[in-house]
Every structure is written in structure tokens, then in C-alpha cells.
Structure 1
Amino acid sequence: MLPDESVMSKILLIRGKRVMIDKDLAELYGIPTKRLNEQVKRNLQRFPEDFMFQLTAGEKAEVVAICDHLKRLRFSAALPYVFTEHGAVMLACILNSDRAIAVNIQIVRIFTRMREMVLTHKDILLKLDQVEKRLAGHDEQIALVFEYLKQLLAPPQEPRQKIGFLQ
């Protein structure tokens, strides 16, 4: 099996969805990208818009610029397809091989783990936001305390009249 890190590095965020590019999936499944796309086109009814979509030219250029392992896509005239977690599951159904099933199970587990990590980090970020909001007004109050301390520590500007008994 492949290391989880190598699979995780192939998951991208495009249009607000975590997706994998057809080239990367084909590589993981051990088949040519052309064959993967042929199978998808034969079974288009299994891949609605929320399972798979094709990148625009701008998105393709952005992906190629960001991902070093996809530099060769720059010279391809075809726009790549990307698959969400559900699309990757559906790929395992149409690519009926032991490797496809094993890789698919690993991909689903990684997507699930990533979702759990996001939820955990979301809770932490919400708590940090609450603490930040609570402490936001404290900066002004602390500055005011330091201003009063400076006034107390500064020598008086005018000599004060002495109070008390004269001897």
C-alpha cells in the first residue's frame, strides 16, 4: 500500500471541495489516465456534478502552478477531471480490480481523517476566537493602567504646599 502522506498530498481544495485530479487517481489505481477517463465517460450517470467536475483553463493553470508533480499537465490540451471523495468511491465501482478497491478504501479513510481533523481544528479556532474577543478590550484597559502608573511615578510638576505642624 501507499503511504498516507503521498495520498494526502494529492488532495487539493478546488471550488471549496476537497478533490483529487484524474491523473493522480489513475496513478494510484495503476492505470493510464486515458483508461480512467474512458471508464468515467462510459458511466457518466454515476458521476453527478458533486462527485466529479472538469477544471476550467484558469483552474488548470493554477493547479499546475501550485503542484510540482502536475507540471506535465501544462502541455496537455485536455482539461482534467477532478473527483470528490464520493467520486473516488464511485471510481472503485467502475474500476473493478483488487488494487482499485484497496486504494479506494485508503482514500476514503484519509478523507474521513481529514474531515475529523478539520472539525477538531474548527473547535480550537472557535475557542481562540472567543478568547481573542474577550481580550480585545483589555489592551486599552492595560494602556490606561500604565498611564496612571506613569502619572503616579512621575515627580510632581509644582511644589506642593506642606501640610501639618510647623516646628
Structure 2
Amino acid sequence: MISLPNIQKRIYEIRNERVMLDMDLAFLYGVETRVLNQAVKRNAKRFPDDFMVRLSAAEWQYVQSQFSDTSIESKSSSQTVMMEFPKNRAGRYLPYAFTEQGVAMLSGILNSDTAINMNIAIMRAFVAIRRLTLQQMDLKEQLREIKERLGEHDMQLNHIYDAMENLLDQRGTQKSWEDRERIGYKI
């Protein structure tokens, strides 16, 4: 079984959506990419545009630049060749990208035990990424609050320093008044 972090590395952000590519899903499900895409084409009604899209050439190049972050060793040799020689996926063979809903829909058309178990793992990976994103947003909010508090504390400290300087100035003027040479009658 492939680990959760290994699955998470195969989730990309494209068009402000988290997606997985057809070749990665095929590898995870233990089928050829061609077989996966044929099953999708036979069930085209199940995959509207918000479930599955074909990448543009520019998006494909962007994803390829991300491949250096993923572990190529864990992929099969045919998929490694595809990643190293992106010309194989040029033109009409640009990969499909499946959103989380599209991956869930794949579970309905791929009925092998491997596909079912892997689909559960993939759904867990999407959920883990969503949790991580929410935690990061929470941390950003906490940092913003800390910055605001520090700004308030800086202002309060400046007021304290000003008040201390005023007190020191007043004492300095009082000493000079008391130490002055007295005029008038001396007893």
C-alpha cells in the first residue's frame, strides 16, 4: 500500500483546484493510463467539467516542473518514461486532471479491490490536505492577531516611556528649585 504522504505528493493545484492526473491515478489503481481513460470515456456523463478537465499545454508544463518534487522511483518504468519525455503527452494526449469529486466518481467505474482501497486512501489524502490548509489559515490569523497586539504594546510602551521622561524632567526641575540660592532674610 502506498503511504499517505506519497499520495499527497501526487495532488497538484491547478485552476485553483486540487487535482490528480490520470497517469498518477492509473498507477495508484494498478491499471494502465489508457485503460483508466477508456473507462472514463465510456462513462462520460459521470464526469462534468468540474470533475475532470484536460490540461492545457501550459498547465502540463507547470505540472512537469513539479515532478522534480515527487519521487520518480516509486512510479512504474512506463510512467517514468512519460515524465522524463513529456513529448509523449503532447497535443491530443495532454493528461486529464480529476478533482476530488472526479476521483470519488472513479470509484464507481473501477470496481477492483485495489481501486476501492486506493480510492479510500486518496480520499483520506484530500481530507488531510484540506485539514492542513485550514490549520495554516488558522496560524495566519493567529500571527495577524499577535502582530496587532505587538503594535498595541509598542504604543503602550511608548506612552510609558514618555510618562517616565516627564516624571524625570519634573524631578530635575524640582531639585534645581530646592537647591537654588535663597534670597531674602536669613535666620
Counterpart secondary structure, 1:67: helix
Stretches of structure 1 that go unaligned for 5 or more consecutive residues are 153-159
**Aligned position for 2:86:** 74
**Aligned position for 1:165:** 181
**Aligned position for 1:94:** 109
Alignment of 1:47-126 (within 5 A): 47-68=47-68, 69=72, 71-72=83-84, 74-75=86-87, 76-77=89-90, 78-126=93-141
Number of aligned residue pairs: give it. Answer: 159
Q: How far apart, CA to CA, are the structure 2 residues paired with 1:92 and 1:64?
A: 26
Counterpart secondary structure, 2:2: coil
Higher relative contact order (CA 8 A, sep 6+): 2
Q: How far apart, CA to CA, are the structure 2 residues paired with 1:19 and 1:67?
A: 14
Structure number having the greater helix percentage: 2
Q: How far apart, CA to CA, are the structure 2 residues paired with 1:64 and 1:118?
A: 23
Q: How far apart, CA to CA, are the structure 1 residues paired with 2:67 and 2:148?
A: 37
Structure 1 residue runs of 4 or more that deviate by more than 2 Å after TM superposition: 68-73, 133-146, 160-163
Point out the structure with max Rg over C-alpha: 2
Stretches of structure 2 that go unaligned for 5 or more consecutive residues are 73-81, 169-175, 183-187
Deviation at 1:137, TM superposition (A): 6.1
Counterpart secondary structure, 1:13: strand
Deviation at 1:133, TM superposition (A): 3.1
Contact preservation (8 Å) 1:4, 1:110: yes
Relative to structure 1, the CA distance from residue 73 to residue 83 in structure 2 (aligned partners, 3 Å threshold; closer, same or farther) is farther
Q: How far apart, CA to CA, are the structure 2 residues paired with 1:66 and 1:141?
A: 48
- Paired AA for residue 56 in structure 2: T
- Paired AA for residue 71 in structure 1: M
Deviation at 1:66, TM superposition (A): 2.0
Deviation at 1:50, TM superposition (A): 1.4
Q: How far apart, CA to CA, are the structure 2 residues paired with 1:138 and 1:98?
A: 60
Q: How far apart, CA to CA, are the structure 2 residues paired with 1:93 and 1:45?
A: 12
Give identity over the alignment, percent.
40
Q: TM-score, normalised by structure 2?
A: 0.72
Q: How far apart, CA to CA, are the structure 2 residues paired with 1:72 and 1:35?
A: 21
Partner deviation per Cα, 1:82-116 (whole Å, 9 max, x = no partner): 11111111112111111000000011111112212
Instruction: Compute the RMSD of aligned alpha carbons.
Output: 2.7
- Paired AA for residue 103 in structure 2: A
Relative to structure 1, the CA distance from residue 34 to residue 73 in structure 2 (aligned partners, 3 Å threshold; closer, same or farther) is farther
